[in-house]
Every structure is written in C-alpha cells, then in structure tokens.
Copies of this chain bind each other. A is one copy, B any other.
Amino acid sequence: MTSSDKPENAPETAAESTEPTGSAQSAGSTERTGIAAQDWARASAEPQYRAAVVDLLGALAYGELAAFERLAEDAKLAPTLADKAELAKMASAEFHHFERLRNRLTEIGAEPTEAMEPFVAALDGFHRQTAPSDWLEGLVKAYVGDSIASDFYREVAARLDADTRELVLAVLDDTGHAGFAVEKVRAAIDADPRVGGRLALWARRLMGEALSQSQRVVAERDALSTMLVGGVADGFDLAEVGRMFSRITEAHTKRMAALGLAA
C-alpha cells in the first residue's frame, strides 16, 4: 500500500506511507534537533513537554477506541458477510492500537482514563455530527478520517522524542482501511457515476467537521498546542497551526481527487 518509506526515487503512489506525505510534511525527517533528538527519559524532564505527550497519547488512545466503535457500527451496514468481517478486522486492529497507547500511558505514570477524558467531547461530537447513512458513506468516512488523523499525528510525530515518536508511528500503521475503502468506493462510482457527486459532498462535510473539532481541541489544550508549533514554551502561534491545517487540507484534496471525488 505505500511509498515514501521506500528508497529515493521509488514511485510516489499511495496514501499510507509510514512517513509524512510530501504535502503534509513538516519538520524535516532527516536531521532531528531539539526534543526530536532526545529520548523520553530526557525529554520528559520538562513538565510541559510531559503534559503535552500525555495529552497527545490520550487523544490518540480515545481516537482509536472511538474508531473501534465506529467501525464495528459500520460493520452492520456491510452488504456481505465478507465485508462485515473485513470491517470487524479493522475495528479489532484499532483496538490493539488503543491497548498499546493505554499501556504506554500507564508506563509513563499517567492515568489512561484521565488522559483520554479531555478529548471525549470533541471526538464523540465529530462522530455524532457525521454518522454515515449508508455503507459507502461509512467507508469514505473511515478513509478520510483515518487519513486526516494520520497526517495530523505524523506532523506531530516529527516534534516528539524518539520513544514517543516510534509508538505514534507504529499505531498509525495502516490497518488495511485505505486500500479496502478506495477499492469499494471506486467500484461504486464506476457502477454509478452519480454516487461520486454525493460522496464528494460528504467528504467535504467530513473535512469541515474534522477541522472544526480539531481547532476546538487545539484551542483548549495549551500544552498540546504549544508542542504543535515547535516545542517553544511561550504560547502558541495560531499562524503555524493554521499552516499545518492547510497542509492537511491540501493532502486531503489530493487524496479525494485520486479517489475520483472532487474535494
């Protein structure tokens, strides 16, 4: 399914690389400086950094748990038993990611439930506002949601200490969503091109809702925001956060075009 973790000059193809995609790339992945050059033991001596990582892992953990629920719910809409099993498999993979994040929170002395709580409202809000009305909407949502989350966390990963970065990149590993969703959605558009128009609108709505919930989280969680804009301790720079959102939106637009949907 991938690409940019390949040697130089490998063809750029897919959406599920394990490194930041070109358009969503940020702090260079070549030479690490600052916190990114440290391990957790050293980086966590800074209380504000530690708080930011607990926030980040809490958000990611609840995101995985919510994704588990969403996929299990979507499995009910599956047209065949094989599709149902495929979604159940993805849900189960999300659950195992959740377990790793929860265990890591415990390991660094944080209470997982407390770490997740601040993100429940935003994530539940997102899922409530974007309940798919059929199987294809569910697939597009899984694909779009995962890709956006993945872009976001890869942006963040570049600013993390080596140990946390490794965990974050591991749980972002493709769970098989993207390929499955893309294949099914393309087939549906081929069979009936009007489906493309409806799904394009749906994808736009998903993106809008995702951005609005993310901005809410960023505005509310100072420690997290501070880290997002480069690990500086003197408040967060809305312009930099804005640029990150632009990069993510741009990557989304490219993915939608590849899927046959005008974003």
Contact = CB atoms under 8 A, between A and B. Distances in A.
A89 interface: yes
A134 interface: no
A92 B97 CA distance: 12
Interface stretch (A71-79, A152-160, A183-191, A206-214): A71-79
A88 B92 CA distance: 8
A23 interface: no
Given A95-B88, A95-B89, A113 B75 contact: no
A165 interface: no
B84 A95 contact: no
B88 A69 contact: yes
A68 interface: yes
Given A69-B72, A73-B72, A76-B69, A88 B98 contact: yes
A116 B116 CA distance: 38
Contacts of A72: 68-69, 72-73, 75, 91
Contacts of A75: 68-69, 72
Contact of A95 (B65, B91, B112): B91
**Which among A73, A95, A120 has the highest number of chain B CB atoms within 10 Å?**
A95
Residue of A72, A76, A113 contacting most chain B CB atoms (<10 Å): A72
Nearest to A64: B88
A116 to B, nearest CB: 6
A85 interface: yes
A82 interface: yes
Contacts of A82: 112-113
Contact of A85 (B80, B88, B102, B117): B102
A96 interface: yes
B98 A95 contact: no
Interface of A: 62, 65, 68-69, 72-73, 75-76, 80-82, 84-85, 88-89, 91-92, 95-96, 98-99, 102, 112-113, 116-117, 120
13 contacts: A65-B84, A68-B91, A69-B72, A69-B76, A72-B75, A72-B91, A82-B112, A82-B113, A85-B102, A89-B95, A89-B99, A92-B92, A92-B96
Given A62-B81, A65-B88, A72-B72, 8 more contacts: A65-B81, A65-B84, A68-B75, A72-B73, A73-B73, A82-B113, A85-B98, A88-B98
